[in-house]
Amino acid sequence: MKNKIIITGAVGSGKTTAITSASDTLVVDTEAADTDRMRGESSKTTVAMDYGTLNLGAGAKMHLFGTPGQERFSYMWEILSTGATGIAILIDATSVNPLGDLDFYLEVFSDLISKCGGVAVIGITHTDVTRNSRILEQFNKRLSEVRLSVPVFEVDCRRREDVRTMLYSLLSLSESDDTHALSH
Amino acid sequence: MKNELQQRLDAAKVSIMCAALRELNAAMSDIEASAYISLDGYTIAAELASGVDSNRLGAICASMHALAQRASQEIKHGAFNLLLIESEQGYMLLVKSSVEAMLVVSTKPSKSLGMIASVSKQFAEKLKRIQETHKVAAAT
């Protein structure tokens, strides 16, 4: 599938919201009421995938596939990644260890990033409520350490333009030969 | 944290559900195993063969249930009731039980699929009643 983009990240990082904001079509979601009482609050969780499309003009479309966040659904990560041409990793800035989350998803999706020729972006979400003003700098430093040339964005997943800007940058990466990952 | 009474009620509910699943497994010779699974992928009660990871099965069934439900809506067939998977060594049925849970039934290769589906639906209803009775008991 041309322009098949995977949007992944931990629970609550904003994947479903991002796809809902960006999509030009009604999003196919597979949310179920979260019955894990340890979480202590009523919420919903994606159990299979989210799907939406972004019109690129001239009949072309970007197909957006959101993964479930919980690791017990990790088999879906592999299923959805088949044939993907790019990946957006969303990291919740308010999580206990955002850099640890970044390392985790870069590792889990290292094969996909490699196969896509480094067509990947990182979106840092919930930056409006984090106290860490240096998070962007920290992420760029970590990516430099692992020798990945991947753009990092601060994204408010509720804002259509934020999400679209991030996704369009994926497109420009896929169309540009000289901005691919340095190595992996 | 759950209090002691809630934990006892949960344990009693699982025990009653397991008894119902054993009854289902014995109802027809072709039925091999069954499990009651929440729609977000937690196995509530299971009577499965040894070696089957009930947690992993629960998560996978939740994904399939959600996609089957979506596919039913997409093709405008209304609410999803049952998903059938035919494999080399048997069948697997996912039967909607309630707004929170499904019944999963595993069978040998069988010529009695219609009867198996019918019995499975009856037990899905029975398990739903057990769950609802428990909820009432927990609330009082």
pLDDT category at A174 given cuts 50, 70, 90 is confident
> Is residue A39 included in any domain, yes or no?
no
Nearest alpha-carbon partner for A125 in A13, A11, A9: A13
pLDDT at A181: 44
Cβ contacts from A onto B, under 8 A: 55
The answer to which of A49-58, A175-184, B13-22, B24-33 has the lowest mean pLDDT is A175-184
Q: How many domains does chain A have?
A: 1
pLDDT at B9: 78
Sign of dihedral through CA atoms A152, A153, A155, A161?
negative
For B66, which of A34, A35, A47 is closest by C-beta distance? Answer: A47
CATH code, domain carrying B66:
3.30.450.30
Q: What does DSSP assign to residue B3?
A: -
- Containing structural domain, residue B48: 4-139
For A28, which of B42, B63, B70 is closest by C-beta distance? Answer: B70
Mutation target to probe the A interface, by most A beta carbons within 10 A, among B53, B56, B63 is: B63
Q: What is the mean pLDDT of residues A3-26?
A: 95
Query: With 0-12 CB in 10 A as exposed, 13-18 as middle and 19+ as buried, what is B139?
Result: exposed
pLDDT category at B138 given cuts 50, 70, 90 is low
> Is residue A170 included in any domain, yes or no?
yes
- Containing structural domain, residue A22: 6-34+44-175
The partner residues of A15 in beta bridges, in order of sequence, read none
pLDDT at A183: 40
The partner residues of A31 in beta bridges, in order of sequence, read A46
How much is the ipTM here? 0.78
> Is residue A75 included in any domain, yes or no?
yes
pLDDT at A145 over 90: yes
Alpha carbons A135 and A138: distance in angstroms, whole number: 5
Which chain B residues are closer than 8 Å to A66 by Cβ?
A: none
Which chain B residues are closer than 8 Å to A32 by Cβ?
A: 38-41, 62, 66
Which of A86 and A184 is assigned the larger pLDDT?
A86
Element (H, E) at A44: strand A44-46
The residue type at A55: N
Alpha carbons A50 and B39: distance in angstroms, whole number: 16
Which chain A residues are closer than 8 Å to B63 by Cβ?
A: 30, 47-49, 68, 73, 76
> Is residue A109 included in any domain, yes or no?
yes
Residues B81-129: pLDDT tens digits? 999 999 999 999 999 999 999 999 999 999 999 999 999 999 999 999 9
Average pLDDT value over all residues in chain B: 92
Task: Please indicate whether, in this complex, the C-beta atoms of A30 and B67 are within 8 angstroms of each other.
Answer: yes
Q: How many domains does chain B have?
A: 1
The residue type at A53: T
> Is residue A73 included in any domain, yes or no?
yes
Which chain A residues are closer than 8 Å to B64 by Cβ?
A: 48
